[in-house]
Structures are given as structure tokens and as C-alpha cells.
Amino acid sequence: MEEVVLEKNDEIVMKLLYFFITEYSYSPIILHGAKNEIWLENLNSPYKIVRIVTNYIHNNEQLDFDLFKTKKIVGKIKKKTFTFNANTLSIFVNLGENVQFENYIHNKNSDCANISDIEDFKKYSFVIETFPTITKTTKFKEKGLELFTKITAEINSKNEVEQKRAEDIFKPKKPIITYILIAINVLVFILMYLFGSGSQNISTLINFGANVSFFIKNGEYYRLFTAAFIHIGIIHLIFNMYVLYVIGSQIESFYGKRKYLAIYIFSAIMGNLLSVLFLGNGISAGASGAIFGLFGALLYFGYNYRVYLGTVMKSQIIPLIILNLSMGFVIGGVDNLAHIGGLIAGTLISMAVGIKYKTTKTDKINGIVLSLIYFIFLCIMLFK
């Protein structure tokens, strides 16, 4: 059999794809009209975008146009993925001798490297600092078809792992905790009529644990929790339970049952805690604070999976949150402070409990610290 020989540039590209995909979990970006270049992204990496350019660039004018075009594409990716700084590394493997490359190595949020061999990366300290094993990991004994087969198998194996992870996160799961929470809310609502004077009677609301500033400041802290399961009127109950079913089912599926319950309870308590600061002599109740905490959890999840949900974030999640908050300011009798308190709490506690395959240990520690600071701050404000 005749031996298959890879062109040198093709071999470099194969090795680089192997390195960035298998070692640093970069994913290919599909771009229409981008010829002779490969775009990779990892939004958790110092270089969020890496592009490997095989197109022959003859002179500085062509290189200027290439970098101008790259800047425009990166701008679109930033909007789609809600990324403020998308540091980019452009690796050129086919530059002409007429290009004066030294003036292009460092640009705003963009670095460039020109290589004809993997070892050439040693000339670029910023690459070695970010990817210290790039010259070692890409050394292979195999050549030609054998090298192509080995690298392809490794990349496919890595992609299979990532695909299984995505399936694990996004596959629908039965929302058992959501059903239980809805059942508890409905049961409490019925009990207020069986053992009290109804869901709109002030004495009944107080007896069942509604949010009242005077009682909480005098030691009845349980109201911060129980108030989240009490609703004032059937419309209030139906609306909240519908939203809880829609949003809760998603959060329970994305985060898992235990984390979902932690998000719900913490958001409910913190929403009621912020509410009671400005409640005066009023009374409040409802699952809205907890539900807005779930909105915060959805926001945090969407941001971490913005490669998949970037468009949904812009077109659905963020507008939905803004719409609901705006309605709270316009419609009378709505406890918008509980909404805001729950939204903040849900976002912070989501970072603390973490998202499977995404949240790092540092992220979790930061989430725990911020959640504690938020809780302590509200407590100090309430009991000062």
C-alpha cells in the first residue's frame, strides 16, 4: 500500500486541533464563508477564541484585511455569547516572506503567532505561558495516515465525552420536586379555607405564617420560610404555580433535585428578607421570591451554556425577567422587593451550588462567600 503523506501545514493543523480540543476543551465554531481557517472557542479560557489560519497571506495589506475581518466576526460572537472581552489568538501557518509580522503580534484583545513548525511557539512567550504543554503534547511518533488516524480518533473520543455531558445536562427529567412544591402550595391554600377564614383574611394569613415585619423582628424567623407557601387569592396561586411549573421543571432538570431545592429555599428566604426591610406595617406572602430566584438560576445557567443558549438568553430569558419586574412596578399590590431579593439570591446561590461540568471550585467558593455576604448584610439591615 502506498504511504499517505500529509503536507507540513496540514500536519501542523491536525496537531493544533488535537491539542486545543483534547487538552483545553475548545469547540469548533461554524462560520459561513470562512475559508482556509478554523475557529475554536472556549469561553472559560484566557484566549476565548483561537483561530488557525491556513490561507496564504502574501503581504501586509492582506494581513490587515484578515485581522479587520476577524475583529468583525469576534464582535458578533461576543454579542451572541454575552462575552465582554473575547481575547483572540490567531495562529498563521502560511504567511509570505513579504509580511512584516512583528507589528501584528499584539493588538487590542488579540494576539498573533506565525509558525512553520510547532517548535516556533517558543518564540511567543504569551502562548507558552497560556498553553505551557503545546510543544510537548503535540509530539507524535506516527506519520502520515497513522498520525491522521490517531489524532482523528482522539478528537472523536473527546467530542463523544462532550456530547454525553451535554445530553446528561439537557435531557428532560421528571420534575418530582416541582410537583411536590406545587402540591404543598395548593395544600396550604386549601387548609386556609378549612381551618381559617380564607386566603385573603389577614388573621388567617398571619396564623399560617405570612411575612409580617413586626413578628419577624420579634423572633418569628420561620415566617421568612413559611410565607413562600402562602398565597393571597386564587389568581395569585394559579399564576405562581403555572410559572413554577414552567421554570421549576427546567431548573430541576438542569441543576438536579438537591441543588434545585437549595436554590428555591434560599431564594424564598432572601426574597422575604429584603421585602420585610421595607414592608412597614404591611403583610406579604407568595412564592414569587423563590420563583424569581429560579429566574436567577436560569440566568446563571444560560450564561455558562451561552454557546448553546446565547440566542435564547437574548430573545427569551432576559426579556422575560425584565417584563416580570416591570409588571411588578406597574401593578399595585405586588411585592417587587421580594422579586428582586429572590433574583439576586438565586443567581448567587446557583454559583455556590454549581452547574455540573461547568462551575469550578473557585466559582463555588465565590458563590458561597457572596451568598453569605448578601445574607449577613440583609440581616444587619433588618436588626440594626
Instruction: Indicate if 249 and 277 belong to the same structural domain.
Output: yes
For residues 170 and 279, the model is more confident at: 170
- pLDDT 10s digits, 215-233: 998 899 999 999 999 999 9
Q: Which domain holds residue 113?
A: 8-169
- Give the confidence band of 331 by pLDDT, cuts at 50, 70, 90: low
- pLDDT 10s digits, 253-266: 999 999 999 999 99
Residue 51 neighbours by CB under 8 Å, 6+ apart: 37, 38, 39, 40, 70, 88, 89, 90, 91
Q: What average pLDDT does range 146-161 have in this prediction? A: 87
Q: What average pLDDT does range 270-290 have in this prediction? A: 89
- Say what the pLDDT of residue 332 is: 59
Provide the annotated active-site residues.
Answer: 288, 339
Whether 12 is in a domain gets the answer yes
CA distances from 133 to 23, 112, 136, 214, 242 (A): 9, 18, 5, 62, 52
- Say what the pLDDT of residue 2 is: 46
Identify the domain boundary among 131, 152, 169: 169
- Say what the pLDDT of residue 145 is: 81
Burial category of 338 from C-beta neighbours within 10 Å (exposed 0-12, middle 13-18, buried 19 and up): buried
Instruction: Indicate if 210 and 292 belong to the same structural domain.
Output: yes
- Say what the pLDDT of residue 159 is: 83
Whether 235 is in a domain gets the answer yes
Identify the domain boundary among 141, 169, 197: 169
Supply the pTM of this predicted model.
0.81
Identify the domain boundary among 169, 192, 219: 169
